[in-house]
Amino acid sequence: MATGAQARSPRILERKLISETYAAEIEGLLARYPDKKSAVLPLMHLAQREYGYMSKEAMREVADILDLDPTHVLSLSGFYSLYYEEPTGKYVLEICNDLACALRGADEFVEMACNKLNIPVEGTTDDGLFTIKTVMCLGACDRAPMLQCNLKFEENLDEEKFDELLARLRAEAENGADKPSVVERINAFAKK
Amino acid sequence: MAHILLRNRDIPNIHKLDVYLANGGYEGLKKALSMTPDEVTAEVRNANVRGRGGAGFPTGVKWGFIPKAIDPKYILINTDESETGTFKDRELVEKNPHQVIEGALIAAYAVGAKLIFNYFRGEYMDAAFHFEVALKDCYANRLVGKNILDSDFECDFYCHYGAGAYICGEETALINSLGGDLGQPWSKPPFPAVEGLYAKPTVVNNTETMANIPPVIVNGAEWYKSMGTEKSSGPKIVCMSGHVEKPGNYEVPLGITYRELIEMAGGVRNGKGFKALLPSGGSGPVITKEALDAPLTYEGLDQYGSTMGSASVIVMDEDTDMVWAAGKMIHFFRHESCGKCTPCREGTFWMERILERILHGEGTEEDIAVLESVAKQMRGKCLCALGEFAVSPVLSTIAHFLDEYKAKVRTPEAEPV
């Protein structure tokens, strides 16, 4: 838990994982908005990717870049469901089990996925690779059951395709490949 | 019939600029630039283009509210598409992005805006890839930026990504979110047309609405009004999901019936009988077979106490447990309530708790009455539509399927002493 003393202490950041590495991208991003505060959600996406989750450290760095109070970043982190307040596995499997998907077997799919990875919903596998979450509608109801893995959609799933997905991700993790898609996307956006 | 909005279904690779241009792309913008801004707005108003996000407000009227004397002005495209059962804007931004870009540029010209943001829900970051590429190509080909099509018109255009909040589809919440704050709505007035993003005049239009604009400018208001009904003109993308054989997006002229839509989607899955459908995702009351011949229009379901909304049709077969379905929807609204208005924040919480109790076989008849009472107390007491939406699954399932609720609860006599 953040204590008042910590939140108000002078901002001496121990690590800066985004402001130096992505300096040019961040500058480009800030230039888009008449008020730089608007860049807070995109920067939080970037920070979460680099820090792994919205740790206090990550929030402080975002706040520092935008001259915001860290508590403001904290409130956003709690409000928006794509920011994780706890560490997650390398691959976050967010399965939609909202009504439209549930009518096409999403609840059974969640159960199968949890059994397969031997974790409950919100749980992370011992090897730190996978976290399973259930989420609200992702806008792919015609291709249920489906999930998003680190923001990339995997659709028309069944047990066999889920096995293939896990195998692919395990191989990717082993070969040192990075989290799929997110950082490339954010970089591509920020560069414009 | 050739598609007007989902042109990607007819023309391969229309997401690419050269293909879009070769198929009449940006002709609408070109024509708009040869007209005065007021003429453009008048054309859209005369065509009776109505908001495709669900509320159905006339788009040209909305543009007409923007005061000329205040600058800067902003155009925001609402691609926060998060309603349960809705996936139409996603196909547009993924497969036919230039038509959305062109529509937004025409809007910017009409109201005098020089900056456009497309607000995507964060989950669409991957789906937005083609849109980002399309935008980049537009910058490189003087379709966005300075001297657009060699005219004096200039306009910047960026994508912005939210981070998972249904409420940001509400226009004032979207504006707050884009401003870097919590995505919570405000009590109007002030209206965004006067005080929107950064307290400046702002137009917020749904993605599909934007895609309607270029063909209206190219073909004229009369052509547009030749489709649909008198009050509901033009084409509409309908998202068919749930228990149908062929779920997906279907572009239809407004005015066709729900029965025809189900047939178009291959009928109810596995030869089952039809039980009910949600016409506007989780937000509109359920309708049953007596309403199947109602037309898909903004007013077509009025007499059945429901609404077309964004036309996200979730079909449920005869085996569907309607109390379970209500529980799923309330879970959604409880999760997505932004917490600002007490009746919504607390009401959705208690409705979910009561429904869970009933679903676990621990409810009593009194719970049904309490559930109904909580829902009725929420109505008309919240700032935005979410609070209104949240009560409809409960009230409409109680109205149509009270027997299913009753079958799940203990009768008073059977209650343990």
pLDDT of residue B375: 96
pLDDT at B129: 87
What is the rounded average pLDDT of the residues B166-181? Answer: 97
Give residue A15's pLDDT.
86
Interface list for B 288-307 with A (CB within 8 A): none
Helix, strand or coil, per DSSP, at residue B32: helix
Report the number of distinct structural domains present in chain B. Answer: 3
Domain boundary among B225, B256, B281: B225
Whole-number pLDDT of residue A10? 54
Overall average pLDDT of the B318-334 stretch: 97
Query: Does B327 lie in the same domain as B310?
Result: no
Under an 8 A CB cutoff, do A139 and B178 touch?
A: no
In a domain, B2, yes or no: no
Taking only the tens place, the pLDDT of each residue in B277-313 is: 999 999 999 999 999 999 999 999 999 999 999 999 9
Question: Which residues span the domain enclosing B254?
Answer: 235-317
Q: Look at residue B177 and tell me if it is in a domain.
A: yes
Do B83 and B112 have their domain in common? yes
Task: Check if the beta carbon of residue B251 is closer than 8 Å to that of residue B20.
Answer: no
Tell which phi-psi region holds residue B164, choosing left (phi > 0), alpha (psi between -120 and 50) or beta: left
Q: Which ranges of B295-364 does DSSP label H, i.e. alpha helix?
A: 322-336, 342-359
CATH number of the domain bearing residue B396:
1.20.1440.230
CA-CA distance, B55 to B188, in Å (whole number)? 15
> Using omega within 30 degrees of 0 as the cis cutoff, is the peptide bond preceding B97 cis?
no
Residue B171 lies in a domain: yes
Q: Note the pLDDT of residue A185.
A: 56
**Res A177: pLDDT:** 63
Nearby residues of B92 by Cβ (< 8 Å), 6 or more positions away: B5, B6, B99, B100, B207, B208, B211, B237
CB within 8 Å: B122 and A140: no
Q: Which two tokens stand for residue B226?
A: 């030749």
Going by C-alpha positions, the residue among B246, B310, B258 that lies closest to residue B90 is B310
Instruction: Kindly provide the ipTM of the predicted complex, given to two decimals.
Output: 0.94
Q: Structural domain boundaries of chain A? A: 14-84, 91-174
Question: For A103, which residue in chain B has the nearest alpha carbon?
Answer: B242
Looking at the structure, do residues B267 and B393 belong to the same domain, yes or no?
no
Task: List the strands of the sheet with B312-317, edge to edge.
Answer: B248-253, B235-242, B312-317, B274-282
Domain boundary among B317, B347, B380: B317
Structural domain includes residue B1: no
- What local confidence, expressed as pLDDT, does residue A176 receive? 73
- CB atoms under 10 Å from CB of B135, counted, come to 23
Query: Quick one: B185 and B255 in the same domain?
Result: no
Q: Which of A66-70, A79-83, B123-127, B348-352 has the lowest mean pLDDT?
A: B123-127
Give pLDDT tens digits along chain A (192 positions).
444 444 445 567 878 989 988 999 899 999 999 999 999 999 999 999 899 999 999 999 999 999 999 999 999 999 999 999 999 999 999 999 999 999 999 999 999 999 999 999 999 999 999 999 999 999 999 999 999 999 899 999 999 999 999 999 999 998 876 554 444 555 555 444
Q: Are strands A91-96 and A130-135 parallel, antiparallel or unpaired?
A: parallel
Q: What is the pLDDT of residue B410?
A: 80
**Helix/strand number for chain B, H first, E second:** 15, 8
Q: Average pLDDT, stretch B211-240? A: 97
Does B313 share its domain with B330?
no
Put simply, the answer to whether B160 touches A137 (Cβ < 8 Å) is: no
Instruction: Check whether B151 has a pLDDT greater than 60.
Output: yes
Q: pLDDT at position A6, please?
A: 47
CB A102 within 8 A of CB A80: no
Share of chain B above pLDDT 70, in %: 98
| Pairs from B222-231 (Cβ < 8 Å, separation ≥ 24) | B224/B47, B224/B48, B224/B49, B225/B47, B225/B48, B227/B253, B227/B254, B228/B253, B228/B254, B228/B255, B228/B297, B229/B254, B229/B255, B229/B295, B229/B297, B231/B48, B231/B297, B231/B298, B231/B299
Q: Looking at the structure, do residues B23 and B124 belong to the same domain, yes or no?
A: yes
The third-level CATH classification (topology) of the domain covering A91-174 is Glutaredoxin (3.40.30)
Q: Which residues of B touch A138 (CB under 8 A)?
A: 123
Examine residue B141 and state whether it is found in any structural domain, yes or no. Answer: yes
**Residue A14: what pLDDT?**
79
For B365-410, the pLDDT digits (tens) are 999 999 999 999 999 999 999 999 999 999 999 999 999 999 999 8
**Rounded Cα gap, residues A29 and A25, in angstroms:** 6
What is the structure's pLDDT at B273?
A: 98
* B254 and B372 belong to one structural domain: no
| H runs (alpha helix) in B141-203 | 171-178
**Residue reference for tokens 């893995």:** A149
Distance between CA atoms of residues B416 and B19, nearest Å: 71
Same structural domain, B176 and B145: yes
pLDDT in tens, B98-112: 999 999 999 999 999
Average pLDDT, chain B: 96
Whole-angstrom distance, CA of residue B156 vs CA of residue B117: 9
CATH code that applies to domain A14-84? 1.10.10.1590
| CB within 8 Å of B238: residues ≥ 6 apart | B88, B249, B250, B251, B252, B261, B296, B311, B312, B313
Chain A nearest-CA distance from B278, in A, is 10
- The Cα B122–Cα B59 span in angstroms is 26
For residue B370, being part of any structural domain is answered with yes
Size of interface A-B (CB pairs under 8 A): 160
- CATH number of the domain to which B280 belongs: 3.10.20.600
d(CA B414, CA B364) in angstroms, rounded, equals 10
Please judge whether B86 and A83 are an interchain contact, meaning their C-beta atoms are less than 8 angstroms apart: no
Provide mean pLDDT across the span B249-268.
Answer: 98
pLDDT for position A133: 97
CB-based burial label for A171 (10 Å; 0-12, 13-18, 19+) = exposed
> pLDDT of B61-92, one tens digit each?
999 999 999 999 999 999 999 999 999 999 99
Distance CA(B129)–CA(B126), nearest Å, equals: 6
| Residue of A36, A37, A72, A137 to mutate for B, most B C-beta atoms under 10 A | A137
Strands A91-96 and A147-149, by their bridges, are: antiparallel
Same domain, yes or no: B247 and B339: no
Residue of A nearest to B122 (CA): A82
Last residue of a domain, one of B247, B282, B317: B317
- Is B205 found in the same domain as B340? no
Residue B291 and residue B328 in one domain: no
Query: Positive or negative CA dihedral for A148, A154, A160, A164?
Result: negative
